[in-house]
Amino acid sequence: MALMTANEYVESLRKLNTRVYMFGEKIDNWVDHPMIRPSINCVAMTYALAQDPQYADLMTVKSSLTGHTVNRFTHLHQSTEDLINKVKMQRLLGQKTASCFQRCVGMDAFNAVYSSTYEIDEKHGTRYHENFKKFLTFVQDNDLTVDGAMTDPKGDRSKSPSQQADPDMYVHVVERREDGIVVSGAKCHQTGSINSHWHIFMPTIAMGEADKDWAVSFACPTDAEGMYMIYGRQSCDTRKLEENADIDVGNAKFGGQEALVVLDHVFIPNEYIFLNGEYEFAGMIVERFAGYHRQSYGGCKVGVGDVVIGAAALAAEYNGVEKASAVKDKLIEMTHLNETLYCCGIACSSQGAPTKAGNYQIDLLLANVCKQNVTRFPYEIVRLAEDIAGGLMVTMPSQKDFDSDTVVGRNGETIGEICKKFFAAREGVSTEDRQRIMRFLENMCLGAAAVGYRTESMHGAGSPQAQRIMIARQGNIQGKKQFAKDIAGIQ
């Protein structure tokens, strides 16, 4: 099958029997739901750009499994150039959508599970690697979107999976059969889960022998029997339900998506199992996936940051202060922070190396440094954007007020005319354009888009402490002490 078009992707979702719930009710036509559709548009952009010849080198690549041209989001990295192009592709998509385009988790899961299953088979004589290669070939041949599902609810975080009062706090095997396994549990904060054709489930922490029933990884169609999604709320999300409110929404076309994914005794055939009780490899999958995903943030968040910087510069221009030295300095600082994140993404990619399985892995230390910076710099970028924009981005009347023909003025002026008069921009800029950029910044800094930029920068791909733990492991303090001893003459 050839690469799907954006429209073919959207239509393919209609063929799924995915169970979606929102506000306590089942959503039958979730593809066209106004709160969900912007996130579908984001994923569709990954298909649209792959059809554009000017982006072919970034968006498509020859498959190492089949030799066919595939979307890079389904690719196994074969070189440091592949790793670098991944980051460049993610920045491009951030620039095009100003949001989360959701396919990164699947791509990162592919590469982590591919190399891990090779080493599991090497030790245990299992056939997980062959299972995975067949599955990924199927994904590439059909140009599918696959969600990577890692984050369990965790319950009491002081206890391991086997110690939880409720075993469903971590996805686990409840029955082993000759033809497969039955699993139960849930995954939280799942980016793009509803918009995916399939899911790859992975462990979320390193595990011991007592946790072997929780040491499980597998692929599952999104509309599998016993699997359903509960849609996650975002700030200002119900604005998307209002009529004629595209300005108030901020980014009316694109958006992110998270959901609680529930597995209620779901059967998984043997051919889709990639880990089943080999507990000592749970940590490997987690570490490798986290490394790839922390690299991803040096691309996607930088692309979105480019748009935030551009919006802040427009707000300054519309306010008539673009020449002020203080504003120029803030924009310079925002750019400096954003490009520093990009440097980290490129650096951990350029220092990558092949795994035993042959696909390339990033430098884990630098990938964790990248993500640690992402937990900080977008917050400062947003703070400076809010500083430049001014308070109007959070105090402006609604779009309905600007459109209102209710008379309130002594001379017969309407509410709309009053709003347009007192919130006018500089000469040559329409009030509506000023409205749009202010609402857009509100959405990026505080609203629904902030979920995929500011807050996700903190918690996506692991909390800041998770990166600090990995930096401590990879930092080689003993080696650095030896450098000092050698130069200081200490025996």
Query: Side by side, which strands form the sheet with 216-221?
Result: 146-149, 198-201, 216-221, 273-276
User: Is 322 part of the annotated catalytic residue set?
Assistant: no
Reported in sequence order, the residue ranges of 259-324 that DSSP labels E, i.e. its strands, are: 259-269, 273-276
Using an 8 Å Cβ cutoff, are 200 and 147 in contact?
Answer: yes
Q: Which residues of 373-397 are buried (b: 16+ CB within 10 A; e: fewer)?
A: bbbebbbebbebbbebbeebbeebb
Using an 8 Å Cβ cutoff, are 201 and 236 in contact?
Answer: no
Q: CA dihedral in degrees (60, 64, 69, 74; nearest 10)?
A: -50
| Strand pairing report for 227-231 and 20-22 | parallel
Residue 354, SS3 per DSSP: strand
User: Is 293 part of the annotated catalytic residue set?
Assistant: yes
Helices 300-319 and 431-445 sit at what angle, rounded to 10 degrees? 140
Give the C-alpha separation, 18 to 6, whole Å: 19
HEC per residue, 53-71: HHHHHHHEEECCCCCCEEE
Give the C-alpha separation, 441 to 225, whole Å: 41
User: Is 197 part of the annotated catalytic residue set?
Assistant: no
User: Is 258 part of the annotated catalytic residue set?
Assistant: yes
What own/partner pairs with CB < 8 Å and gap ≥ 24 does 462-468 have? 462/290, 462/294, 462/371, 463/375, 464/372, 464/375, 466/290, 467/294, 467/368, 467/369, 467/371, 467/372, 467/375, 468/372
Q: Which residue is catalytic, options 236, 293, 342, 419?
A: 293
φ/ψ of 321, rounded to 5, equals: -120, 20
Side chain identity at 399, as an amino acid letter? Q
User: Is 104 part of the annotated catalytic residue set?
Assistant: yes
Q: Which residue is catalytic, options 80, 145, 191, 204?
A: 191
Give the C-alpha separation, 428 to 69, whole Å: 48
User: Is 348 part of the annotated catalytic residue set?
Assistant: no
User: Is 77 part of the annotated catalytic residue set?
Assistant: no
Q: Which residue is catalytic, options 104, 236, 370, 445?
A: 104
Q: Which residue is catalytic, options 199, 258, 279, 445?
A: 258
Give the C-alpha separation, 357 to 117, whole Å: 9
Q: Which residue is catalytic, options 300, 344, 419, 445?
A: 300
User: Is 81 part of the annotated catalytic residue set?
Assistant: no
Give the C-alpha separation, 101 to 99, whole Å: 6
Q: Which residue is catalytic, options 9, 33, 47, 100?
A: 100
Q: Which residues of 165-194 are buried (b: 16+ CB within 10 A; e: fewer)?
A: eebbbbbbbeeeeeebbebbbbbbbbbbbb
Other CB atoms within 10 Å distance of the CB of residue 16: 16
Contacts of 481 (CB under 8 A, 6+ apart): none
- 259 forms beta bridges with 231
Using an 8 Å Cβ cutoff, are 35 and 237 in contact?
Answer: yes
Q: Which residue is catalytic, options 47, 118, 272, 297?
A: 297
Query: What amino acid positions are annotated as catalytic residues?
Result: 100, 104, 191, 258, 293, 297, 300, 456
